[in-house]
Every structure is written in structure tokens, then in C-alpha cells.
Amino acid sequence: MLDSTLFPYRDGVLSCEGISLGSLADDYGTPLFVTSRNSLLNQYRRFEKAFAGLPHFTCYSVKANFNLHVIRAFAEEGCGCDVNSGGELFRALQAGVDPGKIIMAGVGKTPEDIEYAITSGILLLKAESLSELRQIDTIAGRLGRKVCVGIRVNPNVTAETHPYITTGDSKEKFGIGEADLGDVFELLKHLEHVELNCLDMHIGSQIFDAEFYHAALEMLLDVLATARSAGFDIRYFDIGGGFPVTYDPQKPATPIEHFADKLTPLLETTGTTILFEPGRFLTANSTILLTRVLYRKRNHTGKEFVIVDAGMTDLIRPALYQSHHEILAVRQHDTTIVADIVGPVCESGDFFARERTVDSVGEGELLAVLSAGAYSSVMSSNYNGRLRAAEVMVDGETAKLIRRRDTYEQLIQNEVE
């Protein structure tokens, strides 16, 4: 949900910090992702305050929004990064993040990803299989290095969220289940170029109930005891991300402070530095997707459509996860309509909302699709020959272009004559 102090209506027109969204649309065109820098910072500071009682280190999960300026905003606050590929590692390094503050996840790291991570000197790689551990050991040996690793444990906890974003269940591909951990510890005793110093989990995303973390943590604490008695020096305990945000005001997210209260007593028994990997929590509600109404149409059944210039290529979450995104008219109206808000892409799944009550915006007016800061621009595509949207970041009275809109030339630049 939008922080109305950072996205206020002034004289009936929606703004981001000190700048009206109308003037941003005039200056940069639409569709346009508009991010409030101060909203990002507020979320990070709130997270840090909630867990201030624990020895911990927060690694922003850059997959949620990997724009260099977003990564940098957190890094300047002292935050590290969680990356999932060589490409994300490249982005974090380009943003100026200290490699010693970067951790790498990923169920299918390629040999190139692993070599890049090792030669960059990142803090640790989290392995998800015995084969991957052997692979890391071989590559580290070839490079003459000894590498810190974590193991991602699959705690077999099915967190209640959308099935596509639950990851801690043993039917999912992620992590190593309890039954195989004995083999992992045995293998690790024989590998000379890796050193186990972290236990890791990530049970899913947009998790409202702290009980799921609690259950998974209890299992991970047992693993910690086993690992220590096998002689491993576990210094980090990584509990992943997944902390929720409010998309729909009817379904408010559990406050982060509640998770902190519930989990701190367990986490402080570990005698480790706790690693957190929040993505969505830090970014989702700091960005809106600004889009212009192209057409309105009413069909013979009386159904209303508002056709806008943004589409599923900019924000695929409604199509992929049936997710709710609030939609506001940039200029407030006194009357409302009930309509489907849809994009220009040739798919019936290309919608932002169905049967939604919105202000009765006319053609040419602007709408703001909310909660577009996590898993939005990062999941965008050029499908239908569409140009990826531009992105701006607002800080007080200043707006800065942080990503140019794609051009037609870019659409074909990698194709060979």
C-alpha cells in the first residue's frame, strides 16, 4: 500500500514526494516506473530497527528490483546483497557493493556463475545439492582458493502463499532435505576447498504467518546442533526473505515488527550472525507504474474496458499470480466506473484488474498501478515488440532518470544479419 505522505494527493493530483505524476509523465513519457527514494530508505530503516536486537546483516535480494540506483540506495545505508546469478552479481558490483557483503543463492548456478563469484571474493555461496558442493570445490581448487559455503536446507514447511512462490516444501526443487544432510556433512569433511560456515533457508515469498518461519527455524536449529557436533564452525544463519507487504488494503500484511518479536527469541539462541534476504519488503510499495489511458470501450454486454499503454510486459504479476494491485487515478474524479483495466498485449491475461471500481478517467488521463517496485520491471519483456518502460527515481523535489526506455534499435541489436 502506498505511503500517502510520500505519494500524496495535492490539489486532487497524485504526486511522488515533491513532484506531480502529471509532470513526470510529460517529462519522461509513459509507461513509467516512478520510485520514491525516501520510501526505499524508510523501509530499510524500519527493517533494521525491527531486528536491531539481533546480531545480523541484511542482504537485499536484488532479484526484486535490480536497478543500479535501487541497489545503491540500500548499499549506501550499509546493506549487502543477495544475488541469484552472475548477472545479478555483475549488477551488484557495478552498483558499487563491496563483494565481501554479497552472498549468492541459486538452485542452478553454472560453472561460470561459481567462478565469477569466487574470483570476485564474495562472502559466501549457498549450495543446494551435493553435486553443486563438488562443483564449487573443484572450481575453487582450480583457482587455488578456499571458499566459504552455506547449505540451503529444505525444511519441508509449506508456507501459505501463492503456490508459485512457496519454496520450502520437499516437493519443490529448492534446498537439501533433512534426510540427505548426513551425506552432505560427510562429503564436506572430504572437500578441501570449501568450508561450511552458514546454514540457510528461504521458505517462500509474501508469507503472512510467522508460524511458518518458526516451524522451519526449529528444524534448522536441529541442523545447527548436528553440524556443530560434526565439527563445523557455523557462523551465519540465513533465514532468507519472504516478509510480506500490503497489496490489497483489505488484506493488510503482518507488520515486520511482529516477525521480529516472534523470531528473535529463537534466533538469538544460535550464537551466529543472522542473515536476512528481504526483497519485496524493501521495494514493493516504493514504486508505482504510471500509465496513460489510450481508449475506453464498452461492449454490447455493457462491460467497460479501460485500455492503457502499460501491459503484462511491464507488470506480469496479475497474469502470473492473480495478484491484486491497487489502481489510482492521478487526477481525482467525483464519479467512478467499474471496469477491466487492460493493456495492449494480445493475451487475455494482459490485465491489471478485473471488474474494478476506479475513478471515471477519460482517454488521455493517467492511472497509477501501485506496488510495482518488486518483481515488476525486473520481470518485464519485449513480447509483442514492446519497449521496456523507463524508470525514474524521485528524491524530494528532484527526479532522476534511472533507466531509459528501450528503443526499436535495441529490439534487434543482438540479432545477426
- Position 80 contacts ligand LLP (CB under 6 A): no
What are the DSSP E strand ranges found in 68-226?
80-83, 102-104, 124-127, 147-154, 176-177, 194-200
Is 30 in a helix, a strand, or coil?
A: coil
**Residue of 80, 150, 278, 373 interacting with ligand LLP (CB under 6 A):** 278
Residue 81 — φ and ψ, nearest 5°? -135, 145
Residue 216 CA to residue 207 CA, distance in Å, equals: 13
Active-site annotation holder among 16, 148, 198, 346: 346
Total Cβ atoms within 10 A of residue 76 = 13
**Among residues 317 and 356, whose Cβ is nearest to ligand LLP?**
317
**Among residues 82 and 132, whose Cβ is nearest to ligand LLP?**
82
- Position 350 contacts ligand LLP (CB under 6 A): no
Shortest separation between residue 319's beta carbon and ligand LLP, angstroms: 11
Rounded (to 5) percent helix, strand, coil in the chain? 35, 25, 40
Choices 59-67, 211-219, 349-357, 395-403; region in contact with ligand LLP by CB under 6 A? 59-67
DSSP 267-310: HTTS-SEEEE--SHHHHGGGEEEEEEEEEEEE-TT--EEEEES-
Report 186-205 residues binding ligand LLP (CB under 6 A).
Answer: 202, 205
**Among residues 80 and 242, whose Cβ is nearest to ligand LLP?**
242
Choices 61-69, 95-103, 294-302, 349-357; region in contact with ligand LLP by CB under 6 A? 61-69
- Position 56 contacts ligand LLP (CB under 6 A): no
Burial state string for 244-281 with b = 16 or more CB within 10 A and e = fewer than 16: bbbbeeeeebeebeebbebbbebbeebebebbbbbbbb
**Residue of 168, 242, 311, 373 interacting with ligand LLP (CB under 6 A):** 242
Shortest separation between residue 399's beta carbon and ligand LLP, angstroms: 26
Choices 141-149, 187-195, 218-226, 277-285; region in contact with ligand LLP by CB under 6 A? 277-285
Residue 277 CA to residue 62 CA, distance in Å, equals: 9
Count, residues near ligand LLP per rule CB under 6 A: 22
**Residue of 16, 34, 64, 151 interacting with ligand LLP (CB under 6 A):** 64
* Greatest extent of the chain over all pairs of C-alpha atoms, in Å: 73
Choices 86-94, 221-229, 237-245, 257-265; region in contact with ligand LLP by CB under 6 A? 237-245
Report 168-187 residues binding ligand LLP (CB under 6 A).
Answer: none
- Position 47 contacts ligand LLP (CB under 6 A): no
**Among residues 88 and 277, whose Cβ is nearest to ligand LLP?**
277
**Residue of 7, 259, 281, 352 interacting with ligand LLP (CB under 6 A):** 281
Q: Which three cell numbers stand for residue 38?
A: 525516501
**Residue of 37, 280, 356, 386 interacting with ligand LLP (CB under 6 A):** 280
Shortest separation between residue 380's beta carbon and ligand LLP, angstroms: 12
Amino acid sitting at position 307: I
Shortest separation between residue 51's beta carbon and ligand LLP, angstroms: 14
Shortest separation between residue 107's beta carbon and ligand LLP, angstroms: 9
Residue 217 CA to residue 47 CA, distance in Å, equals: 19
Dihedral sign computed on CA atoms, order 195, 201, 205, 208: negative
Q: Is 79 a catalytic site residue?
A: no
Q: Which three cell numbers stand for residue 240?
A: 532468507
65: closest CA among 403, 404, 413?
403
Shortest separation between residue 176's beta carbon and ligand LLP, angstroms: 14
Residue 343 CA to residue 351 CA, distance in Å, equals: 6
Contact 223, 153 (CB under 8 A): yes
Choices 19-27, 239-247, 328-336, 354-362; region in contact with ligand LLP by CB under 6 A? 239-247
- Position 57 contacts ligand LLP (CB under 6 A): no
Where on the chain is the footprint of ligand LLP (CB under 6 A)? Answer: 61, 63-64, 82, 105, 165, 202, 205-206, 240-243, 277-281, 317, 321, 374-375
Residues acting as catalytic residues: 346
